[in-house]
Amino acid sequence: VTVKSVACHIFAQKTAMIKRFPLGFFPTPLHPLNKLSEQFSPHRVYIKRDDMSGLAGGGNKTRKLEFLIGEALACGYDTLITAGAQQSNHCRQTAAACNKAGLKCHLIVRGEAPEKPDGNLFLSRLLGAEIHFTGGEIMAHHPEELIGKLRQQGHNPLFIPIGGSTDVGTLGYVFAVEEFTLQLKQQNIEPDFVFFASCSGGTQAGMVLGKHIHGLQAKLMPVSIAKPEAGLPSLEETVHELVNACSNLLQLNQVPDIDQCRLIEGYDEAGYAVITKNETNTIKKAAREEGILLDPVYTAR
Ligand SMILES: *Cc1c(COP(=O)(O)O)cnc(C)c1O
């Protein structure tokens, strides 16, 4: 998607680190799960609570949005457009972030408008975002028409792709790893594995780069949430591209090898946001053993 000023983008990218717009409460807690650790003994299980990032229900997109919004403000955009599924966490957090930053928010959402919106769709509307339904089930959204229309009306819109997974958005998780490694040191924990859900690629790319930059020793275990639709690049390709782009942004002379971070597949067979016994069992376990409510689409997988 073309944007108004390429030079402004380059400038904003170079200075993206200082153009961080505060949205969340960080560090998010890192704490042991004692009852689950007992069950999985001798393993010790910890959780990093990015659900507690604090913006309108919290979640991992807030970390990306701090940099994406920073970039938008630095470049003088007045409107953000993003896209996602009807229950998109990213859309909800973007709507809330825009309000704090004084930007207008347009969401391109898959499918038909439901009679009674619920969940994240309800919340995005409550937060004041203007919602455009695609009518179809296609994940690849085409924002050009909306961008053109908004420009004609005198607005200056920036399109953020699904999940906020751009080079700038990826910075959020490079910084998350810095925060995480500091907590590990403070709590004297040396984890063997870090599991996380991976879907649009920004979280994984940021974790890979962050591990490289901040010397995290643990092995990264990204769990695939959905297979990409036909014709779209694989998640591995997307992560590869994001790692390269974000390395460029940070002017790193050495790009980490992403082959060391293999995607865990097999949990994504049912398809995006289809909740199976696996997810319900995990949600119940986390809720009943630890009092933690897991996201059904991502974390429960
Ligand atoms: C979006 C999301 C993820 C995946 O992050 P990506 O950067 O899109 O791979 C994981 N967990 C939750 C709760 C999310 O909303």
Instruction: Determine if ligand 1 sits within 6 Å of the CB of residue 89.
Output: yes
Locate 290 and state its tokens.
């630890």
Instruction: Determine if ligand 1 sits within 6 Å of the CB of residue 206.
Output: no
Is the model's pLDDT at 220 over the cut of 50? yes
Instruction: Tell me which residue has tokens 């004084």.
Output: 102
Residues 6+ apart with CB under 8 A from 80: 68, 69, 72, 94, 98, 103, 104, 105, 106, 157, 158, 159, 160
**Across 276-293, average pLDDT:** 97
Residues 6+ apart with CB under 8 A from 241: 233
Rounded distance from Cα 200 to ligand 1 centre (Å): 7
List the catalytic residues: 88
Q: Tell me the pairing of strands 30-32 and 46-48.
A: antiparallel
**Residue 64 near residue 53 (C-beta atoms within 8 A):** no
Per-residue model confidence as pLDDT tens digits over 95-148: 999 999 999 999 999 999 999 999 999 999 999 999 999 987 664 467 899 999
Helices (H), the chain: 6-14, 34-39, 61-74, 89-101, 119-126, 144-152, 167-187, 202-214, 235-249, 277-290
Nearest to 57 by CA among 20, 24, 99, 101: 24
Rounded distance from Cα 209 to ligand 1 centre (Å): 17
Categorize the per-residue pLDDT at 3 as very low, low, confident or very high, splitting at 50, 70 and 90. Answer: very low
Rounded distance from Cα 196 to ligand 1 centre (Å): 8
pLDDT for 2: 44
Cα atoms found within 13 Å of the Cα of residue 82, Cβ hemisphere only: 33
Evaluate the CA torsion angle 172, 90, 233, 197 in order and state its sign: positive
Distance CA 19, CA 22 (A): 9
Residues 6+ apart with CB under 8 A from 238: 165, 200, 201, 205, 228
pTM assigned to the model: 0.93
Residue whose CA is at the smallest distance from ligand 1 atom 15: 89
pLDDT for 13: 61
Categorize the per-residue pLDDT at 8 as very low, low, confident or very high, splitting at 50, 70 and 90. Answer: low
Ligand 1 nearest atom to the CA of residue 222, by list position: 9
Distance CA 289, CA 253 (A): 46
